[in-house]
Amino acid sequence: MQFINTKENLVVDSLDGLLRASGGANLARLDGYPGIKVILRTDHNPNKKVAIVAGGGSGHEPAHAAFVGPGMLTAAVCGEVFASPSVDAVFAAIMAVTGKAGCLVILKNYTGDRLNFGLAAEKARALGKKVEVLIVADDIALPDIPQPRGIAGVMFVEKIAGHFAEKGAPLAKVAAAARKASESLVSLGLSLSSCTLPGIGREDRIPSGKAELGLGIHGEPGVDLIDYDGAKHAAHLLADRIFKHAKPAKAYALLVNNLGSTTPLEMGLLTNEVLSHPKAAKIKLVLGPTALVTSLDMHGFSLSLMPLMPEFETALKSPASPLVWPGIHTHIKPKKIKLPAATKAKAFKASKNDALAALVGKACRILIDNEAALNALDAKVGDGDTGSTISTAAQHVSRNLPSMPLGNLSQFFAAVSDAMTRTMGGSSGVLFAIFFASASQAVAGGKTWLEALQAGLQRMRDYGGANPGDRTMVDALLPALAELQKSGSVAAAAKAARAGADATADMTRARAGRSSYVSESNLRGIKDPGAEAIARLLEGLSS
Count of helices and strands (H, E) across the chain:
18, 15
Q: What is the pLDDT at residue 296?
A: 96
Please state the rounded mean pLDDT for residues 444-470: 92
Question: Over 60: is that where the pLDDT of 511 sits?
Answer: no
Mapping DSSP to helix (H, G, I), strand (E, B) and coil, where does residue 230 land? coil
Distance between CA atoms of 441 and 459, rounded to whole angstroms? 11
H-only helix segments in 227-353:
231-245, 264-275, 310-317
Q: Given pLDDT bands bounded at 50, 70 and 90, which one contains residue 381?
A: confident
Q: Which of 139-143, 355-359, 371-375 has the lowest mean pLDDT?
A: 139-143
pLDDT band per the 50, 70, 90 thresholds, residue 17: very high
Indicate whether 12 pLDDT > 80: yes
pLDDT of residue 204: 81
pLDDT at 543: 83
Pairing of strands 224-227, 210-213: antiparallel
Q: 519: Cβ–Cβ under 8 A, 6 or more apart, which residues?
A: none
Query: 328 - beta bridge partners?
Result: 287
Q: What is the DSSP string of 398-433?
A: HHHGGGSBTT-HHHHHHHHHHHHHHH--HHHHHHHH
Mean pLDDT of the region 51-69: 97
Write b or e for each residue in 164-192: b if 16 or more Cβ atoms lie within 10 A of its Cβ, otherwise e.
bbbeebebeebbebbbebbebbbbbbbbb
Burial 404-413 (b: 16+ CB within 10 A, else e): bbbebbbbbb
CB 68 within 8 A of CB 29: no
pLDDT at 211 over 60: yes
What confidence score (pLDDT) does residue 341 get? 80
- Asked if residue 521 has pLDDT above 60, the reply is no
Please report the domains of the chain, with CATH numbers, ordered by start residue.
Answer: 10-195+208-330 (3.40.50.10440), 341-542 (1.25.40.340)
Burial of 279 (0-12, 13-18, 19+ CB in 10 A): middle
Q: What is the DSSP string of 110-158?
A: -HHHHHHHHHHHHHHHHTT--EEEEEE--B-SSTTSSSPPP-TTHHHHH
**218 among known catalytic residues:** yes
- Which range among 354-368, 468-482, 496-510 shows the weakest confidence by mean pLDDT? 496-510
- Please report the DSSP string for 311-331 in residue order: HHHHHHHS---SS----EEE-
Summarize pLDDT for 232-246 with one digit per residue, the tens.
Answer: 999 999 999 999 999
523 or 219, which is more confident? Answer: 219
Q: DSSP letter at 260?
A: B
pLDDT over 80 at 121, yes or no: yes
**3-class SS of residue 4:** coil
What is the identity of the amino acid at 488?
A: G
Contacts of 351 (CB under 8 A, 6+ apart): 405, 406, 407, 408
> Could you read off the pLDDT of 29-57 as tens digits, one per residue?
999 988 999 999 999 999 999 999 999 99
CB 198 within 8 A of CB 81: yes
At 401 the pLDDT is 93
Q: Of the listed 218, 236, 277, 299, which one is catalytic?
A: 218
What's the pLDDT at 520? 56
Residue 293 has pLDDT above 50, yes or no: yes
pTM above 0.85, yes or no: no
123-148: average pLDDT: 92
pLDDT of 410-439, one tens digit each?
999 999 999 888 888 777 888 999 999 999
Angle at 418 between CA 412 and CA 420, to 5 degrees: 105
**Mean per-residue pLDDT over the chain, rounded:** 92
517 pLDDT higher than 50: no
Grade residue 519 by pLDDT with cuts at 50, 70 and 90: very low
pLDDT above 90 (res 215): no
Is it the case that residue 395 has pLDDT exceeding 50?
Answer: yes
How many C-beta atoms lie closer than 10 Å to residue 419's C-beta?
Answer: 21
Which of 60, 105, 55 shows the shortest CA–CA distance to 84? 55
Mean pLDDT of 75-85: 96
Contact (CB, 8 A) for 176 and 204: no
Checking if the pLDDT of 397 tops 60, the result is yes
Predicted local confidence at residue 143, as pLDDT: 74
Q: pLDDT (tens digit, 9 = 90+) per residue, 311-334?
A: 999 999 999 999 999 999 999 999
Q: Is the pLDDT of residue 380 over 90?
A: no
295: helix, strand or coil: coil
pLDDT in tens, 242-283: 999 999 999 999 999 999 999 999 999 999 999 999 999 999
